[in-house]
Each structure stands twice: as structure tokens, then as C-alpha cells.
Structure 1
Amino acid sequence: MPEKGDDTATAGEHDDNQQPEKQEFNAPESQEELDRIIQKRIERERAKFSDYDDLAAKARKLEELEESKKTDEQRRDEERETLRKQLADLEEKLSLKDREVLKTRIASSKGVPVSALTGTTEDELLASADELLDWRGKQDRLPGYVPTAGTGNPNPQVSSLDSGRERARATQKQVS
């Protein structure tokens, strides 16, 4: 540290009483002067990264050198690990597709929407479909529930099969 009374400070040291010099800002007076200032700033920034290409080339050479030092066994281990990861990804995708096919098959056989089924195994999906069918059957039997309410049809249809029979009978009566 400088002694008392010594106004010169070495690099990196500063005197608490001494304030840094403030440079006064002078606005550029012309476009040429502004362009010159900007060009100087660009050159300073480019100088910071002037050795980038050289460093990138050295990094590539280092990677090549490290790769060449690897033994055949290390390369095989890396290849095996890559293949294991790919196999795991493919097995997961296949499992998802199998589950989608199973879900679609169960939904179509039970007559329920695919999106309403939950579960991952066949038993879970079947149980989910059965629960949904039971729930739908209970909705039809609720007191005060009229499936044709608001349709203008006072006679509710029991099933499409029953309504088909009724239409057939009515048609036969008209023909006779």
C-alpha cells in the first residue's frame, strides 16, 4: 500500500479518498464520428474472439486424439450402451402401441369410448369397461330419469331392437 501522502497507487490498489476519474460524455457531432466510434468498439470485441477458430481447431484435434486412444473394448462398450438405450426406447414405444391396440379392442367389444377406459393391463381395462357399463345402466334406472325427456317422444325406446319390432308391426298393420 502506498504510504500516507503518496498519491501514486500501484495497479489493483486504490485509495479510498481518491475517486475514479469521470469522463465527460461528448455526443458525436456527425454521422462519420459515430460510425468511427462504433467501428472502434466492434474491433475491440472482435479482438476478444480473434483466436476462436484456432481454439476450436485445437479442441477438435484433442477430441480426435482422445478418440484414437480409446481401446476397442471401450468403443464396443459405448456402442453397446447406445444400442441398449435405443432398444429401451423402442420397447417403450411398442408397449404404448400394444396398450393402445388393447384399449381400442376392449372399447369396441364393450361398446364404450376408448377415452373413458383406465388401466394398463387387460384385466384393468376390462374392469374399467364393466364399471362404466354398470354406471350407465344405473343412470337409466334412476327415479325420475326419462331418456326421451325433451325429445317430444312420450314413449321411451327400450332398445333399438324393440323399436324396430314396433315399426315392423305398425307397417304390417298398415299393409293388411
Structure 2
Amino acid sequence: MADEIGSDSAAAENEGTAASFTPIESQEALDRIIGERVARERNKYADYDTLRDKAARYDAAEAANLSEVEKAVKRAEVAEARARDLEVSTARAQVAAARGVPAGLLSGGTVEEFEASAEALLKFRGEQATPRAPRPDPRQGASTGPGISGANLTDWLRGELIK
């Protein structure tokens, strides 16, 4: 569609200039026509550099404002995360102190979860509190090296009696 519009306007220009067209007869005339055309094109973009500079300054200002907003949002997120961590640590310490269990052994993220964890630990510790008989050590009483037994015993006794 844009091609049709462009070609229609180009055809209209050709029709208007076709009746008044005079062939270029010298290099000076060609240079003058080309110079006029270049000047018309330059006039279209005469303020391009100033607009480009303004756009660059606007983009820089907007980026600075956006980065300030982003920095503020990031600081707020960090502060919220730190507050949540402190709340969890405080709850863990309170439950540990109230129940008498080490805070490092409590798991969870809420007071209810810490309470349940403390109950489980106390129940486990209650099961472990009953003393159990030690298992027998099969090595107990066994000789660890060359001792006096059997033939060595008789040799030793003879040596002691002869002295």
C-alpha cells in the first residue's frame, strides 16, 4: 500500500515535470540541479543533530531517574528480607528458650513449625533418656600382644624358679 502511494506521487511529479522538462545541456546546469536537490534534502534533516542531542539527554535523564527508582526498590527488598530473617531468628530463639532445646536443631519458618519441631525433639530425647545396657565387647579380656600363655608360661616359670 505504501508502495502504491509512493509510486502515485512519483507519477504525479513526472507528469507535472514532463510537460516542462528541458534536457540538461551543460555540466554547470547538472551541478546546479544536483546542488538544489541536495540542499532540499539537507533542509529536511537540518535539525537532526539538535534533536538527537535532546533525545540523548532525555534518555540519560530517564535512565538516571529509573536507576534511582530501581535502587530504592532494591533497598526496600533488602530491608524486607532482613526484617523477615530477624523475625524468624527471634521466633526460633524464643521457642528454643521456652522448650529448652538448642535453637540450631529447630526447623521451620513460623512459630508453629518451631513448636512442632521442638515437640518432636523433646519426644525423641525422652525416648533416648532411658538408659540402655551397653553391648558386650567381644574383644574384652583378649590379649593384645604376645603374652604368657601355653608354652611361654612353662618357659617363664622355669626361668623364674631357677634363679
TM range (shorter): 0.3 to 0.5
TM-score normalised by the chain length of structure 1: 0.40
